[in-house]
DNA sequence: ACCTGAACACCGTTCAAGT
DNA sequence: ACCTGAACACCGTTCAAGT
């Protein structure tokens, strides 16, 4: 007795008959709630209220909350720029894509917690995968190497942006007190003088943390792309 | 009025006076529960029961559930191998470290959901950071480039392992039905023939998904390291 | 066919009261 | 100083009952 994958995308949606009550309507309201209040702010009761219905009405259109999140999840992937590799060349395609992906994720921070929690089988996620693989094939990768290159790139973007989201939302729009931050570092890193020196150097040198993170992202992206080129030449 | 960072590591622990009741005891029980039942399986009530106390007793030793998770989190980082860069050379140091990090994370899958949700200011997390930066300094990076290189590497590992954890736990020990899996792909990817071809090629070529993921991880790690070397030469 | 509210089995956290 | 249980304000989901 082996397991089956379970996803909204394997089921046909209920037809929309009642006006203002459909999968699309529900997804729209879900996205509004997620963008406004984050993942913790989304509850079936609140969503019901926003839709002007009972909370349990939603279960007619969707099997459970995770399916709802799958729908919202895929909607976000749909907002990422997907250049055409044949026009732009593989390296610029990937670069444009990666920066766009980062921006979209930072704009919908709740996706960070969904990566690795939900399957990504929606049309937008698949279209993204498809386009990326085409870019890597154009670059010269063959067979499984296409998938490996694809995995390496998306891993880098996910792995960068997920902690960025954390940073962003831990500040919650407010400024982080520079002095108490330094004080915290001094306390927790008291046994690691070299590390402490690096952290304070960053703090002193960089006034704008946004551009610091942007620069760091670009550095790593170049690193991954250079590494892939090295592999193509060998 | 600006914000302050909040973390267990900024507060001194309550002294352990009652036998079998201390921060350490509580962390031990928390880890047991997390490893056994995952993040969703951890509740203050269950933890209390395991400790032979009321659920709310825990609040004497810890401010809230997140602080508890911070403690468990850092414990996991303590299990990662940290080779000495001066002995092994920077590239082998990083390679060993990265593989160890991946193994430890896959063994405690619940850490996946904590990355980017909690600050990593514990001694083990800092010791890891410290050692990694030393390796990159030894490699020849200077100033902020040390931090960028460090960020790129950890991003790659996080970004790879987080989806791996999802995959692993979605199967929950059981075999995934090969046929119904193919069927699902055929259905959801019906508009992406090239992608579908790639997915079925992977399915057919690779019998052992564990080694596939291992190979993919090694490929990406080499990519990142090659990219960093390219940067050092330029 | 679609929607409802009550009910179930949970949560994290607060707090007054106990020893 | 340390521990307790009751209580509060929530959850996601099930289901019998309504239209």
List, for residues B28-54, the tens digit of each pLDDT value. Answer: 999 999 999 999 999 999 999 999 999
* pLDDT for the residue B19: 77
Q: Does A86 touch chain B (CB under 8 A)?
A: no
Q: Does B12 touch chain A (CB under 8 A)?
A: no
Instruction: Based on the fold, state whether residues A155 and A59 are members of the same structural domain.
Output: no
B20-to-A66, B27, B58, B64, B80 alpha-carbon distances in Å? 39, 12, 12, 20, 28
Q: Does B96 touch chain A (CB under 8 A)?
A: no
Number of domains in chain B: 2
Instruction: Based on the fold, state whether residues A69 and A142 are members of the same structural domain.
Output: no
Q: Cβ neighbours of residue A107 under 8 Å, at least 6 residues apart? A: none
User: A26, A47, A76: which is the final residue of a domain?
Assistant: A76
Strand D nucleotides where any atom sits below 7 Å of a protein CB: 1-6, 10-15
Phi, psi of B220 (to 5 degrees): -65, -40
Chain B residues with CB-CB distance to A164 below 8 A: 116
> Is the predicted pLDDT of residue B1 greater than 60, yes or no?
no
* pLDDT for the residue B4: 73
> Is the predicted pLDDT of residue A174 greater than 70, yes or no?
no
Residue nearest to nucleotide D4 (CA to C1'): B54
> Is the predicted pLDDT of residue B20 greater than 90, yes or no?
no
| Secondary structure letter of residue B8 according to DSSP | G
Nearest-CA residue of chain A relative to B172? A3
Mean pLDDT (chain A) is: 93
Please report which confidence band the pLDDT of residue B173 belongs to, taking 50, 70 and 90 as the band edges.
Answer: low
Instruction: Give the domain CATH number at B169.
Output: 1.10.357.10
* pLDDT for the residue B77: 98
Domain region containing A68 = 8-76
Separation CA B151–CA A210 (nearest Å): 15
Instruction: Please indicate, yes or no, if residue B190 is contained in any of the structural domains.
Output: yes
- Residue with the larger pLDDT of the pair A4 and A63: A63
| Secondary structure letter of residue B22 according to DSSP | S
* pLDDT for the residue B168: 87
Q: Does the predicted model carry a pTM greater than 0.85?
A: yes
> Is the predicted pLDDT of residue A1 greater than 70, yes or no?
no
* pLDDT for the residue A171: 74
- Residue with the larger pLDDT of the pair B216 and A207: B216
Range name among B102-111, B163-172, B216-225 with the lowest pLDDT average: B163-172
> Is the predicted pLDDT of residue A51 greater than 80, yes or no?
yes
Determine whether the interchain pair B3/A176 forms a contact, defined as Cβ–Cβ distance below 8 Å: yes
Mean pLDDT of B50-78: 97
* pLDDT for the residue B2: 63
Q: How far is the CA of A25 from the C1' of C6 (A)?
A: 26
Determine whether the interchain pair A162/B162 forms a contact, defined as Cβ–Cβ distance below 8 Å: yes
User: Closest nucleotide to residue A19 (Cα to C1')?
Assistant: C2
Tokens of residue B64, six digits:
């809230």
User: Closest nucleotide to residue B44 (Cα to C1')?
Assistant: C12
- Residue with the larger pLDDT of the pair B21 and A66: A66
Please report which confidence band the pLDDT of residue A168 belongs to, taking 50, 70 and 90 as the band edges.
Answer: confident
Mean pLDDT of A174-178: 72
Show which of residues 14-73 on chain B sit within 8 Å of chain A, judged by CB atoms.
none
> Is the predicted pLDDT of residue B94 greater than 70, yes or no?
yes
Separation CA A45–CA A63 (nearest Å): 15
Mean pLDDT of B167-173: 77
Chain B residues with CB-CB distance to A95 below 8 A: none
Instruction: Based on the fold, state whether residues A68 and A95 are members of the same structural domain.
Output: no
> Is the predicted pLDDT of residue B203 greater than 90, yes or no?
no
* pLDDT for the residue A2: 64
Residues 24-63, chain A: which have Cβ under 7 A from strand D? 42-46, 55-56, 59
Instruction: Based on the fold, state whether residues B98 and B60 are members of the same structural domain.
Output: no
HSE of A155, CA atoms in CB hemisphere, 13 A: 32
Instruction: Please indicate, yes or no, if residue B84 is contained in any of the structural domains.
Output: no
Instruction: Based on the fold, state whether residues B103 and B68 are members of the same structural domain.
Output: no
In this complex, the answer to whether residue B19 has its CB under 7 A from any atom of chain D, a nucleic strand, is: no
């Amino acid at each position: 007795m082996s397991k089956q994958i379970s996803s909204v995308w394997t089921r046909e949606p209920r037809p929309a008959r009642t006006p203002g009550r459909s999968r699309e309507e529900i997804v729209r309201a879900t996205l509004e709630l997620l963008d406004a209040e984050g993942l913790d702010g989304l509850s079936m009761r609140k969503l019901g209220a926003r839709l002007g219905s009972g909370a349990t009405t939603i279960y007619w259109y969707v099997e459970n909350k995770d399916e709802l999140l799958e729908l919202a999840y895929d909607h976000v992937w749909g907002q990422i720029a997907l250049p055409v590799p044949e026009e732009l060349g593989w390296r610029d395609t990937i670069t444009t894509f990666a920066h766009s992906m980062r921006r979209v994720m930072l704009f919908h921070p709740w996706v960070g917690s969904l990566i690795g929690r939900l399957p990504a089988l929606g049309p937008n996620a698949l279209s993204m995968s498809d386009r990326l693989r085409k870019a890597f094939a154009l670059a010269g990768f063959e067979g499984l190497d296409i998938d490996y290159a694809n995995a390496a790139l998306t891993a880098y973007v996910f792995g960068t942006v997920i902690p960025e989201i954390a940073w962003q939302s831990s500040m919650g729009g407010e400024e982080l007190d520079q002095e108490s931050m330094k004080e915290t570092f001094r306390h927790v890193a008291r046994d690691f003088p070299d590390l402490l020196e690096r952290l304070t150097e960053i703090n002193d040198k960089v006034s704008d943390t946004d551009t610091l993170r942007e620069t760091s992202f670009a550095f790593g992206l170049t690193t991954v792309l250079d590494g892939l080129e090295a592999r193509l030449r060998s």
